[in-house]
Chain A
Amino acid sequence: MKYVDEFRDPQLARNLLAGIWERSTRPVQFMEFCGGHTHAIFRYGLRQVLPPTVRLRSGPGCPVCVTANGDLDRAIALARLPGVILTTFGDMLKVPGSHGSLQTARAEGADVRMVYSTLDALQMAREHPDRAVIFLGVGFETTAPTVAAAILQAEAEGLDNFTVLSLHKLTPPATRAILDAGEVNLSGIIGPGHVTTLIGSRAWEFLPQEYGVGCAVAGFEPLDILRAVAALVEMAEDGRPTVVNAYSRSVRPEGNRAALEVMERVFEVGEADWRGLGRVPVSGLTLRPEYARFDAALAFPVQPGPTREHKSCRCGDVLRGTIEPPDCPLFRRVCTPAHPIGPCMVSAEGACAAWYQYGE
């Protein structure tokens, strides 16, 4: 497939690896911020072919994993309301809230449906005018503009049975929160390729400038990730952190202005609860007052009750990169894909699922 197979070429990968092996002398730790990178790194077995001096830690880059229990409980409570069709990406279906998940709610009779796109949710609203279709809006700057567009479309069509529960979050604030916490010393961050396709590589310049941490924005094919690692090794060896765009076929310095304008028109920035990071200021997106009638949190005020967290679940620490999944006491013994305790084990992008699935 074009733009895929060429970036999986084993020979070019070996070239890159040879360069990394030769150039890397000092032990370094890079965080792959994005769950998509965590998944690709395990799927292609990249950890095994990188030199021992290069250590990769997974970060909070999976919208499923960072969703706070309270927000998930609210979504489950909405799904149980009579007449509601709760539409969601497949990612959120199995995530455990305080009491069960959207999947268990569905088994108990709630109408929970999986969609590939917000536009599919919009279509369901058109086809079921008598039902209240709520879209569970998770995702970062890549996904939020797609939800914003769906809301503008609903407004234009006068659809009054489509609302969104916005749990959208912004990535730079989360990166700051991790670095400010100073719990894990990082010499570099593998930048999320598709978020950066939206916000632009310039958005990461604060990393070298304010934190002395290099950033290499990467795509999701093996060559893309290895190129980013090679660039970060280069920076670490020379002691010159900077921002490198290793996904230039899709990422531009200014990002995607058309998408960001629509996102900013429909959403405003506020504080948000992140699992593992707690309340992070200026890191969440809520619907602006002009679009309040599309806000499911206002349209359906539900009280999901106190949240309950499994006391020894350490997904929060895994998300901050302070521990690796095997360091969690529940990992593999109690917490498994069949009986996930925390979201990092549920989501195919979560670090724990990747470690369990693709092995040590």
Chain B
Amino acid sequence: MCLGIPARVLEVDRSGLLAMGTVDFGGVTREVCLAYVPEAQVDDYVIVHAGFAISLLDEEEARASLDLLREVGLLEEESGVPLPAPASP
């Protein structure tokens, strides 16, 4: 529905009506609006959609999700469930 890409905040300028800033999409930088992430600071990660940061990425939540998935992996190995072979088209 809406393309949103993670980006690291490089600069923040909250002087104008719309707070603006520069973000790095992993090798590509662009100026975006930070008005909708009032608490975002330099080095934070945000999701950017159509030139606007729409959320401040929660690092703990991200790490928790990944840890959860790794635990699921351990369960599978122990229970010996056969991994699905990818079907050919």
Contacts and interface: CB of A to CB of B under 8 A. Distances in A.
Interface of A: 1-4, 6-7, 9, 11-12, 14-19, 21-22, 33-37, 45, 48-49, 51, 61-63, 89, 116-120, 139-140, 142-143, 145-146, 149, 152-153, 156, 171, 192-195, 197-198, 220, 223, 227, 246, 248-252, 256, 258-259, 262, 349, 359-360
A149 B52 contact: yes
A14 B76 CA distance: 10
A117 B35 CA distance: 14
Contacts of B61: 248-249
Interface in B11-68: 17-18, 25-26, 32-33, 35-38, 45, 47, 49-52, 54-55, 57-59, 61-62, 64-66
Contact of A258 (B8, B17, B35, B76): B35
Contacts of A193: 4
B65 A142 contact: no
A300 to B, nearest CB: 23
B18 A142 contact: no
B84 A33 contact: no
Nearest to A18: B76
Interface string B64-85: 1110011011011001011110
A198 B54 contact: yes
A51 B50 contact: no
A194 B55 CA distance: 9
Contacts of A259: 36, 54
A292 B70 CA distance: 53
